[in-house]
Amino acid sequence: MSKSNLFVLALIGLAVASVTPALAAGGGAEAIKYRQSVMKAIGGHMGAIAAYVKGEVDHAAHVPVHADALREASRTVLDLFPKGSGPEAGETRALPKIWEDWSGFEAAVRDVEAATAKFAEVAAGTADRKALGAALGAVGKSCGGCHTPYRSK
């Protein structure tokens, strides 16, 4: 594993290690703000990968780094939705359905975890844009499994 990969994973590890105390101490509004930051980071990694897949940039060596970050970040998603961090706590697109249908939401998040893990495997083994695009499409589809029923537009 390269130094840059280790650095990214170390940063993610620090963020994950700090999430539980932050959410416990911070309450709803702080949890929303933290969640939104993590989701923006996930979107940033997806956008960087998509730019490579579309041929807009030529950073093949970066794709596995972004893929690893997606995989690790997806493992934190359930922690980002503690009770009391819905619309009652502040401005959020998270719908109350998340907490009303926790088992369904949890299953959808597990699908994201599986898709990002598979994508990381593909990204570690190839720089082929077509193969990466297909695997990225599966990640996007899994993201829709949460965004469509559990997030307002």
Sequence ranges of the domains in the chain: 3-150
The predicted structure's pLDDT at residue 10: 46
The predicted structure's pLDDT at residue 25: 43
List all residues 6 or more positions away from 3 whose beta carbon is below 8 Å from its beta carbon: none
CATH class of the structural domain 3-150: mainly alpha
Q: For the chain (length 153 residues), average pLDDT per consecutive 10?
A: 54 50 62 97 98 98 98 98 96 97 98 98 97 97 97 95
- Counting runs of H as helices and runs of E as strands, what totals does the chain give? 5, 0
The predicted structure's pLDDT at residue 24: 41
The whole-model pTM stands at 0.82
Helix (H/G/I), strand (E/B), else coil: 44: helix
The span from the CA of 51 to the CA of 55, in Å, is 6
The span from the CA of 84 to the CA of 103, in Å, is 17
